[in-house]
Amino acid sequence: MPESERTSAESYEAAVIADGVSRMFGPLRAIDRLSLVIPRGVIYGLLGPSGSGKTTFLRMVVGALKPSEGHLYVFGTAMPNRRVASRIGYMPQAPALYPDLSLRENLRFFGAIYAVPRRRLDERIEELAADLDLLAWLDHPLYRFSVGMVQRASLAVALLHEPDLLVLDEPTVGLDPLLRRTLWERFRSLAARGTTLLISTHSLDEADRCDLLGFLRGGRLLASDTPAALRALTGQDTLEHAFLALAGQPPLTVEWPR
């Protein structure tokens, strides 16, 4: 994206701008010339089957991978960049926590890394533990936790420093429907307070809850729009059919709705 357009995109208060981003792993093109804009305060869902490049793209957004081609900006800063790191909260697909430490110790550790002031940190820990229904488990080591509990603990770490951009890689995989709904309510209230959420999923009903949706297949972004617009665009009444219809077509130009 040319510099002038980038600036104009920033006037949208864009959280993430990808401009022709590709990522190669040897001969494999995991992400292929992907361009998209994620404005602030929305929930952006990246929908695609496994192997479509969702995780690769998210890892580039958080700065764990460098784009092989193109430009990727988070809050106007080219990634990877450590200065915006503190504004991003990342929940990887694997729990990526320390199983032999208690939840509180894990949270305190990441709190210190993100320089959350000690008193605020203690408040946040109680707050998040209550919200995520882990209060009784704060002082237990994570190896005693069930999969769903570890998942929530991992989310707590991502939320801890109140990031402006939350990048969640399949956050609700393996969770029971009730908990899934609670989490989505929480995502919604975060977005209402101005947090931008970038969530990967391969579940269609979750995709429908997003403000904006990107269809990813074979590293290419097939379309990026509101779920309703995607259905209208393809003349299909379900997202699944919309996806299938788009999968047979070349990638569409990304149009940004106001």
Partner 1 sequence: MSWHRVFAITVRIIRQVRRDRRTLALIFLAPVVILSLLGYVYRGSARSLTLAVSGPENEFTQAVVAALTSRSVRVERLPTEQAIALVRSGTLAGALVIEPGDPSLSVRLLVDGSQPGRAQQVTASVEHALTRVALERVPLSAPLPQVQVVYLTGSPAFDELDTFAPVFIGFFAFFFVFLLTSVSFLRERLQGSIERLIVSPLDRTEIVMGYMLGFAFYALLQSIAMVLFTIYVLRVKSVGALWLVILLTVILTLGAVNLGIFLSTFARTELQVVQFIPLVISLQGLLSGIIWPVDTLPRPLQWVAQVLPLTWANDALRAVMLRGHGPADLLPHLLVLGAFAVLMLVLAMSTLRREVA
Binding segment toward partner 1, per CB under 8 A, in 32-40, 77-85, 191-199, 235-243: 77-85
246 makes contact with partner 1 (CB under 8 A):
no
Indicate the SS3 state at residue 243.
Answer: helix
69 makes contact with partner 1 (CB under 8 A):
no
Q: Which one among 44, 75, 90, 243 touches partner 1, defined by CB under 8 A?
A: 90
d(CA 156, CA 158): 5
Q: Which one among 88, 138, 199, 221 touches partner 1, defined by CB under 8 A?
A: 88
In the complex with partner 1, the residue whose CB is nearer, 128 or 223, is: 128
86 makes contact with partner 1 (CB under 8 A):
yes
d(CA 56, CA 244): 22
217 makes contact with partner 1 (CB under 8 A):
no
Residues 109-138 that bind partner 1 (CB under 8 A): 109-110, 112-115
d(CA 236, CA 31): 26
Would you say 222 and 35 are in contact if contact means Cβ atoms under 8 Å apart?
A: no
Would you say 30 and 55 are in contact if contact means Cβ atoms under 8 Å apart?
A: no
181 makes contact with partner 1 (CB under 8 A):
no
In the complex with partner 1, the residue whose CB is nearer, 113 or 232, is: 113
Would you say 147 and 94 are in contact if contact means Cβ atoms under 8 Å apart?
A: no
d(CA 62, CA 56): 10
Who contacts 136 (Cβ-Cβ below 8 Å, separation ≥6)? none
Chain residues binding partner 1 by CB under 8 A are 59, 62-66, 80, 82, 85-86, 88, 90, 92, 94-101, 105, 109-110, 112-115, 141, 157
